Amino acid sequence: MNYLDDVEFVTNPDPRCPCILLLDTSGSMNGRPIDALNHGLRAFQVDLAQDALAQRRVEIAIVTFGNGVQMRQEFVTADQFQTPTLIASGDTPMGQAIELAITMLRNRKDQYKANGIAYYRPWIFMITDGAPTDQWQSAAQSVHMEEAAGSLAFFAIGVQGANMQILSQIAVRPPMMLQGLQFVNLFIWLSRSQQRVSSGNVGEQIALPPITGWASL
């Protein structure tokens, strides 16, 4: 008989790859931009659904800023993720939204640790077409501290009209400018990136897919 057939495997919980979408829903996004963003979110859900591993490992949360800061979606694995339909109105409390996202990630990591769940470096992925209307300097400082500690990766995407100069002060990584309203391509890129990150093996620096097709630096 072959003993190798008898080998059984541990059922460890899937490692998680948390990603917060930090989305500008201020009044200036109203009309075609918010429609394109909603469309992009649906493409994100569909694209993630094609990767069985990512479905179980990528965890998505959504925070919106515009007419206040709202947690639109608590962390859920990609297979549970349902795209919301966002509505644009109000000003742009970006600083407060960033602080909330950082706190949410800290709490999530604590939950992973308490449950013996391994995880990958979390992402915050911010999209905006404007400039913060609240105090953003301390949020920028938090982002810099968290990046320096390796606690997260913060990406800033500007849509036409965004104040790229402020974005480059908030994010450590150079902010990227969305071409037109290429939200679908952007979110497919994000989905593919998360698929790569969440399948990363030990010691592998992940090469992200090229950003051509939706952005310029």
Partner 1 sequence: MDSIPPWHIIGASVTGTSHIKQGNGCDDTHTYQQHSNGSLMLAVADGAGSARHASVGARTAVNAAMKALEQVLDQQDELTSADKWECAIKLVLQVMRAEMEELPSTLQETHIQGEQSSNDKEAPSLNDFATTLLIAIVTSVWIVAAQIGDGAIVVQYDNQIVDVLTQPYHGEYLNQTNFVTDPEYLQYAQITAIQRLPTVKGIALLTDGLENLALDFATKAAYPPFFLPLFRFAARAESTQEELEAFLSSERVCKQTDDDKTILLAVRT
Site residues for partner 1 per CB under 8 A: 2-10, 12-13, 15, 115-121, 150, 199-206
Nearer to partner 1, 5 or 210 (CB): 5
Q: How far is the CB of 200 from partner 1 (least distance, A)?
A: 4
- To the nearest whole angstrom, how small is the minimum distance from the Cβ of residue 15 to partner 1? 5
Calculate ∠ Cα 159-163-167, nearest 5°. Answer: 90
Q: Which residues on neighbouring strands pair with residue 70, listed in sequence order?
A: 64
By C-beta, is 71 or 206 nearer to partner 1? 206
Nearer to partner 1, 202 or 217 (CB): 202
Q: CA distances (Å), 29 to each of 101, 102, 214, in order?
A: 21, 24, 18
The DSSP line for 141-167 is HHHHHHHHTTS-EEEEEE-TT--HHHH
Q: Using CA atoms, how far apart are residues 204 and 134, in angstroms rounded to an integer? A: 39
Residue number, 149 or 217, with CB nearest to partner 1: 149
> C-beta of 52: minimal distance to partner 1 in Å?
10
CB of 7 to partner 1, least distance (A): 5
> Rounded to a whole number, what is the distance in angstroms from the first to the last CA of the chain?
61
Q: Which residue's CB is nearer to partner 1, number 82 or number 203?
A: 203
Is residue 170 classed exposed, middle or buried when 0-12, 13-18 and 19+ CB atoms within 10 A define those classes? Answer: buried
Instruction: Give the Cα separation of 186 and 125 in Å (integer).
Output: 11
Give min distance, CB of 146 to partner 1, in A.
Answer: 12
